[in-house]
Amino acid sequence: MTPRLGLGLRPPMYQQARLGEIRVDWFELISENFMVPGGQPLAVLEDVRRHYPIAFHGVSMNLGGTDPLDGGYLGELKHLADSFEPLFVSDHLCWTRHRGQHLHDLLPLPYAEEVVDHVARRIETVQEVLGRKILIENLSSYVKFDWGDMPEWEFLAEVASRADCLILLDVNNIVVSAWNHGFDAESYVGAIPRERVAQHHVAGHSSTGRLKIDTHDHPASAAVIALYAEARRRFGPRPVCLERDDNIPGTEELLAELKAITQVSAATEPCA
Amino acid sequence: MSATRLGELQDAFCDFVVHGRSAPALETQLRSRGAGDSELQLDVYRNAYFIRLEKALAHDFPLSAKLLGPQSFARLAAEYVLAYPSRHPSLRYLGHALPGWLGEHTGVATGDLAAIEWAAMQVLDGCDREPVDSGRLEGIAPADWPRLALALMPTLSLLEISSNADRVWLSGAEGHELVETKRRRIAVSRGAECRPCLTELSSETFLVLEAVSRTNCLADASDEVAKTAVSASLPEQIATAIHVAFAHGWVTGVGPRQVAE
């Protein structure tokens, strides 16, 4: 049976997770945090994997960059994936590095036809190296470029189709970007091909008034919960992961939040 | 294009985020929703860049950050990341040059404390190796000693400090003021459950172990140490250093050079 409810594993949870004490179906781990020679991170990973299915979620693959793909990075990721058999390996539809400098942020792309080709080719290369399909995640973004006239959802769907990869649909990111760029979040969800969506993220964000910022430091908002219900209705049950990176409460509180989000949506039936 | 056009766009974006350079080329490519919007939108990325990197450094160097104070540390972190932009996919390695940089910009003692904190990170996630015991030396024929190789723990750091940074580190920066002292030598090594252990070393033992860690070969290390002025006799100095290394479990391989780890 496919595991359903997941949490983003963060250091405050390590001790409990190593003992299998957190009542969750699976954990999502930040890949780069475990690309180390040895020591405590790998010991944590081994213990957690003994108790739970896991997924590797990366932040530095640089799929939308113009620097060559980093063979060393991909080799390390393949080694991790081959060693720990994750449910998914995912990263973001963005760029993170330029001229050798890592910016450690998920930076936006122009939604242009030429960029679809560029990114899809890089995803194909990654999938060949890893020997598996990856999931690409939609971003929260704060700027939009004049270059290209595709809506974001069309860009995401087209990249996934041409690269033959899967989608990690982050409903919080849709809510954030919909506010910042003035599009309709439900239309976005409605335009994503069902068969490509393999996982969801839910999380909280902050509002500055004019912009929403993807901070992962609050519980998911009502808008995120409602959009997740819509996504669940459209895509059916998919593994869902609650992300929290700041102001992290105890795991019981996180689990209660995750259950509340999924219970709201459980009543909605998938489309025929 | 496209890779070229995309690369130019990323050049301009990067330049703005990292250096704050006014980027008309970038702003003309942004679709604003209103006057001043593009500046506000771009600032989200610029602010996030510095906050994220400063936060990563404060996480890895918590006592240095505590002693310098949040405002001072944030300013220094921003200057540091301009001098040493990240070249690694993981933020884990961002602080590789911070100890030396802080030593130059804030004083030796702060640099020493940061060096201990960096060494503690190596302890936490460095390569796993099992120590070997000194019994391995027994089977080595006298003729093989000149080409004897000793491999030390990859998580072992040998530091020269000129401050009480080790005591400040051990106290969690509580109750000790960070001050400069005469030069001392310490080892930071992996203890139980990947916890860092600090050991004070004599200058003679430090010299030998430092040379061994660099050359991996006892004969080469001896040649190096012989060039320095030492008080004890060289064989005695080397024997003591080897004893200390085995006693603390810092040796992971012993044997003729070609077979040691």
**pLDDT by residue (tens digit) across B52-83?**
999 999 999 999 999 999 999 999 999 999 99
The minimum CA-CA distance between B30 and chain A, rounded to whole Å, is 4
pLDDT in tens, A131-185: 999 999 999 999 999 999 899 999 999 999 999 999 999 999 999 999 999 999 9
B259 pLDDT more than 50: no
Read off the amino acid at residue B63. Answer: L
Question: What is the structure's pLDDT at B261?
Answer: 45
β-bridge partners, A169: A200
B260 pLDDT more than 50: no
Question: What is the structure's pLDDT at A272?
Answer: 42
3-class SS of residue A166: strand
Question: What is the structure's pLDDT at A73?
Answer: 98
Task: Please tell me the number of Cα atoms within 13 Å of A123 on its side-chain side.
Answer: 30
Chain B residues whose CB is inside 8 A of the A35 CB are 89-90
Kindly state the average pLDDT of the residues B246-259.
Answer: 84
B181 within 8 A of B162, measured Cβ to Cβ:
yes
- The tokens for A219 are 């519980």
Cβ distance of B128 and A39 shorter than 8 Å: yes
In whole angstroms, what is the distance from residue A261 CA to residue A258 CA?
Answer: 5
B216 within 8 A of B151, measured Cβ to Cβ:
yes
A271 pLDDT more than 60: no
Quick one: pLDDT band at residue B34, thresholds 50, 70, 90?
low
Cβ distance of A66 and B49 shorter than 8 Å: no
Which residue from A minimizes the CA distance to B42?
Answer: A143
3-class SS of residue B164: coil
φ/ψ bin of A169: left (φ > 0), alpha (ψ from -120 to 50), beta (otherwise): beta
Which residue from A minimizes the CA distance to B195?
Answer: A40
A269 pLDDT more than 60: no
B37 pLDDT more than 80: no
A5 pLDDT more than 90: yes
Task: Name the E strands within chain A.
Answer: 5-8, 26-30, 54-57, 89-92, 95-98, 101-107, 135-137, 166-170, 197-202, 206-207, 212-213, 240-242
Kindly state the average pLDDT of the residues B26-39.
Answer: 72
- The tokens for B151 are 């491999």
Kindly state the average pLDDT of the residues A98-104.
Answer: 97
Quick one: pLDDT band at residue A7, thresholds 50, 70, 90?
very high
In whole angstroms, what is the distance from residue A211 CA to residue B37 CA?
Answer: 10
Q: Residues 6 or more apart from A138 whose CB is under 8 A from it?
A: A93, A152, A156, A167, A168, A169, A170, A173, A174, A177
* Percent share of chain B, pLDDT over 90: 70
Backbone angles phi, psi at A263, to 5 degrees: -70, -35
The minimum CA-CA distance between A179 and chain B, rounded to whole Å, is 12
Cβ distance of A147 and B126 shorter than 8 Å: no
Quick one: pLDDT band at residue A9, thresholds 50, 70, 90?
very high
Helix (H) or strand (E) holding B183: strand B180-190
- The tokens for A233 are 């209705």
Question: What is the structure's pLDDT at A267?
Answer: 60
The minimum CA-CA distance between B153 and chain A, rounded to whole Å, is 12
The model carries a pTM of: 0.93
Cβ distance of A39 and B125 shorter than 8 Å: yes
Kindly state the average pLDDT of the residues A120-130.
Answer: 98
B236 to each of A175, A196, B60, B208, B245, how far by Cα in Å? Answer: 71, 70, 39, 11, 14
- The tokens for B178 are 């960070």
In whole angstroms, what is the distance from residue B90 CA to residue A54 CA?
Answer: 20
Question: What is the structure's pLDDT at B224?
Answer: 87
Does ipTM top 0.90?
yes
Which residue from B minimizes the CA distance to A31?
Answer: B90
Kindly state the average pLDDT of the residues B94-116.
Answer: 98
pLDDT in tens, A172-208: 999 999 999 999 999 999 999 999 999 999 999 999 8
